[in-house]
Amino acid sequence: MSYAQRKELSGNRTMSMVFTIIVVGGLMYAIVTGLAYNVIKKTAQDLKTFNVEEQPPPPEPPPPPPKDMPKVPPPPMTPPPLVRMEAPPPPIQTVTTNVIPPPQPIQPVIHPPPPPAPPPPPRQAEPKSLSGSLQNLIHGEDYPPSALDNNEQGTVSVTLTVGPSGRVTGCSPSGGPSSLQQATCRLLTARARFSPAQDGSGNPVTATTTARITWQIAD
């Protein structure tokens, strides 16, 4: 091996060693630095701050009593005066009784006065015969022949209806033989004249009147 080769090998070995030292040194620095940081961090976490309370000083002992001091007896105890307590008056009991109220006056029930009665209707004047008694209108020759043959006689009652003109407009007989009833209504309707009835204003009105006619056969 030549000198140049040996020199080249020696230079390469030197470079390898230098590079190895640098790498190992860097690793060692990194390890040491990381470990130191972790140790400082852990120490800072474990370090706890706390307040230190100072203990108060002990109390001073009382001074000793002076020597040769005369003993003074305590003052006599005077009991407080007795205060007389007045008993409260007994409570007043109020007895509530059922008080019956006085009777209320009875108010009279006032009914309204009844309405006044309507005035009576004006009295209607009855028709009056102008010839006086209607019996005078019947004569002996008016006796019905059939009644004479049968010897019929008696009293006939009639209700006559008189119109505003004063004439008989209706006749209702009762009592006595029928032949005499017919003769009575026929004769009075033909002969009787009346002053007609009047209303409250004086106007002639239709009204009714009654009469009794006696039929008797002369001896």
More confident residue, 210 or 83: 210
Architecture, CATH, for domain 128-215: 2-Layer Sandwich (3.30)
Residue 29: CB partners within 8 Å, gap ≥ 6?
A: none
The helix (H) or strand (E) run that includes residue 154 is strand 154-162
Residues forming a β-bridge with 210: 159
Side-chain-side CA neighbours of 192 within 13 Å: the count stands at 34
Query: Does the pLDDT at position 204 exceed 50?
Result: yes
Whole-number average pLDDT of the chain: 77
- pTM exceeding 0.75: no
pLDDT value at residue 32: 65
pLDDT value at residue 94: 64
% residues pLDDT > 90 (the chain): 32
> Any idea which residue has 């090998």 for tokens?
9
91-146 pLDDT, tens digit each:
776 656 666 767 777 777 777 788 888 766 556 668 888 888 899 999 989 999 99
CA distances from 131 to 80, 171, 184, 193 (A): 142, 18, 16, 7
- DSSP 8-state code for residue 137: G
